[in-house]
Amino acid sequence: MCGICGVMSLRPPGPDATPITETAVIRMRDAMRHRGPDDEGVFVADGVGLGHRRLSIIDLSGGHQPMANPDETVWITYNGEVYNFQELREELEARGLGFRTKSDTEVIVRGYEAYGDAVVERLRGMFAFAMWDARRRRLLLARDPLGIKPLYYTQTADGFFLFASEIRALLTWPGVRAEVDLDALWDYLGQRYVPGPRTIFKGIAKLPAGHVAVVSGGEVTLRRYWDVPLDGETWSEAECVGAFRDLVTDSVRRELVSDVPLGVFLSGGLDSTAVTALMASMVSDPVRTFCVGYGGEQGVNERPYARLAAERLGTVHREVEVGLEEFWQLLPQAVAAMEEPVAEAPSVSLLQLSRFTREHVTVVLSGEGADENLGGYGIYRHLLRARPLRWLGTAGPLADLYGSHRAARALERIRQGIAEYRGVSAIFTRHERERLLGRREPAVDSAAVHHERSRRLSPLQRMLYYDQKVWLPDDLLVKADKMTMAASLELRVPFLDHRVVEWAWRVPSSLKIRGGVGKVLLRQAFADVVPAPILERAKVGFTVGGGGRFADNVGREARRLLLDEQALDGLVDSREVARLVRRHTEGVENLLEQLMVLIVLAWWRRLFLS
């Protein structure tokens, strides 16, 4: 895993063109030192500059970047892993193309020479890269199908196109300012993260998952190169269980390729236990597993289930704990690493777990992605059952007037229904956001394109499609990437091999949700290796321990940051914030999630806009 960055002039080369300096590219690159502590590189030519920081995983001595083809007309800076690079290499060698290294990086370069932009469609893995074609004076950017690896870009007023793995690298460039995007702020308050392609930073965008961007002739063009099959066809139930087990097994086997030590994040849930079981069947030494939990007796504690799985599978198991006071000390560090406000308490625990795990291994596998493909979240079942009740949504404004946030949010979700589904995470209602921001919703709805593309699909598929395109890359995966890379740890996600995702998309709904239970197919496919107590558990969200103590802590922190220090004044309405804090601290209504959204926003503002 690595950090990439670069710049290209959008103006024609000539004596009056502003030069790109190596110093400026290095400044971008080294803002991401944590993403690649093992090696560094830079390439600068007329009108272009590429930077790279490397975390060495494969071909430790031969994968220096930026890397070029033999005649140095094609250059790449690349972040990620391509798991089918060995098959692609054999295919390219059969076409007469030679190789100087054993790295997957060179396979992408030589693949571009053979297939052009279509090389991206042949890659299985997680990646974000930029390819400079000197002959055509053309820059190609690409991001993997599911958005496992991040890639941001912006344009400057003086004619430069910039890209990077992290926003902080873009902010080092002269003229790129940290300003809040008010439309993105509206989205954040509604969903506790910012759906792409927007970011919270005005003028900085995310390259969407499954897209390429071509920068040529002074213009930037985006193109979708991958999507799940949208024809509505499904497999028969009879052929699903064995085929799914084989696909996931193949994905795990591919993701074990590494020249450094590997482990697994084992939470004690169904998904991570299945991945651990497969890995244990493929390696000779005991698998190294890692788990995090919060101190305190209240709240969800999955460590007993992780220990059960570890004992059954014979792993070398290690755990780390986050105390309640430690949570508040780590929160600003997590917000700084995330770069955008993402109001997820598990970010803190994942940062602590990543730092602990990095003391033992360099690569970890996890079970991320199964819920979004196989119907694991309870919201899917709730909304399917609530479809006949959409008429109740007309009472939403009455709930707002009455003052019950919980009632208003539930009624808004029922009113929106599946046609306007906004993901597993819903925080402030439209009316509440109008009061906080003093404005109406944005003219351009970031969700519209996903709703339109999925409008002919079944109700369950429509929800899964939205979460795959928005929640997964813009919350779950960016959190996973930023927290692990803050510790220089590579995270791999076997359930998100795009071949697995394509196949799972055709699984009939009855094998995703049945009788109020989600991920039916996963339970059937791995029933022989997952302990029964884990197999039979309902899905639970990861919460902070301490129960009522944590709620009190949130109220205390909200009062300090939002009222005493006025950390959001001028950004949101101070009277509305004071009202929310008062309702929570006086016990009128539990607004823990809503106040956490504002607390994270306050820390983000302090860290990035001050």
Tokens of 158: 């003086």
Task: Please check whether residue 534 is in contact with residue 273, taking contact to mean a CB–CB distance below 8 angstroms.
Answer: yes
Going 104 to 109 to 115 to 121, the CA torsion angle's sign is: positive
Helices (H) and strands (E) in the chain, counts: 24, 19
What is the residue-wise DSSP string for 73-128?
A: SEEEEEEEEETTHHHHHHHHHHTT---SSS-HHHHHHHHHHHHGGGGGGG--EEEE
2, 5, 240, 291: the catalytic one is 2
240 is catalytic: no
Q: What angle, rounded to 10 degrees, do the helices at 240-254 and 498-505 form?
A: 170
Phi, psi of 214 (to 5 degrees): -115, 125
Q: 28 in helix, strand or coil?
A: helix
Q: What angle, rounded to 10 degrees, do the helices at 324-338 and 477-485 form?
A: 100
Strands (E), 306-436: 316-322, 363-365
Q: What is the largest CA-CA distance in the chain?
A: 74
| Distant-in-sequence, close-in-space partners of 419: CB < 8 Å, separation ≥ 6 | 451, 455, 462
Question: CA-CA distance, 342 to 483, in Å (whole number)?
Answer: 12
Pairing relationship of beta strands 219-224 and 262-265 according to DSSP bridges: unpaired
- H or E, element range at 211: strand 211-216
What letter represents residue 22's amino acid? E
Please name every residue paired with 262 in a beta bridge, in sequence order, or none if there are none.
363
Tokens of 196: 């792409």
Length of the chain: 610
Tokens of 545: 């321990």
Pairing relationship of beta strands 152-155 and 67-68 according to DSSP bridges: unpaired
The set of catalytic residues is 2
